Amino acid sequence: MTGALAGQVVLVTGSSRGIGAEVAAKAAEAGARVAIHYRTSAEGAQRTLRRVRDAGSDGHAFSADLVDGRQAEQLVRQAIAHFGRVDALVNNAGLTQVGPFLEIEPADWAAIIQLDLTAAFHTCRAVLPSMVERGSGNIVNIASRLAQIGVAETAAYSAAKAGVIGLTRALAREFGPRGIRVNAVAPGVTETGMTTGLVESEEGRRRLREMPLGRFGRPEEVADAVIFLLSDASALFLGQTLNPNAGGYMP
């Protein structure tokens, strides 16, 4: 995808590590300037920034708590002030949840919904006006296989990510006629620092048996799907959910 995003500015939330960091690095390799977002991990954001610059691209790191709509708006304003515009948004920031449903505290439920779903609402709401004004733009939301199949003891996370897919489709219908494409990527288990405990557990081994490919995904493989959706090669994709999940779910 070398040059596929040349001249674009891409904002990637939660890009201090994991899938977000890979998306940022690959966007830079594809020619984009990259706005790196982090909440607390300034060190991780700087590592991602070095990768962006090593790819020969321009980047800048911004901090924001996206649960707060005002901070999401400020993030977008800062990115536009620094780069001149934001052509594409990748909503990647999120938090996993595992535990029996009856043991979920209301505060924990709210925290998952806020970070995994409401934060995407805030960032989309902040970035869309400038895209509408230009008549072009691209949003890719990171969902999850769990949103599609349901897995025991992941109720909050599954519900939030199912909401992300619904949000994606609704925005694609509303803003597609205005030149803005909105799509989603729903990975299966992906080997990142956030999933190490799962991958090495009995539950992880059970899920691995569900994968016809016989292995879990890698962050860079999920990032490839995102870059495809950001590029003109996916011009006919609106409201779609790509599934880099090693065959764990076949819609």
Is residue 104 helix, strand or coil?
Answer: coil
Spell out the alpha helix ranges (H) of the chain.
18-29, 42-54, 69-83, 106-113, 119-134, 146-149, 155-175, 196-199, 202-209, 219-230
The question of whether 38 is a catalytic residue gets the answer no
Amino acid letter, 28: A
The size of the chain, in residues, is 251
- Residue keyed to tokens 């199949």: 149
Which one of the listed residues 38, 62, 157, 216 is annotated catalytic?
157
Cα distance between residue 10 and residue 32, in whole Å: 6
Catalytic site residues? 157
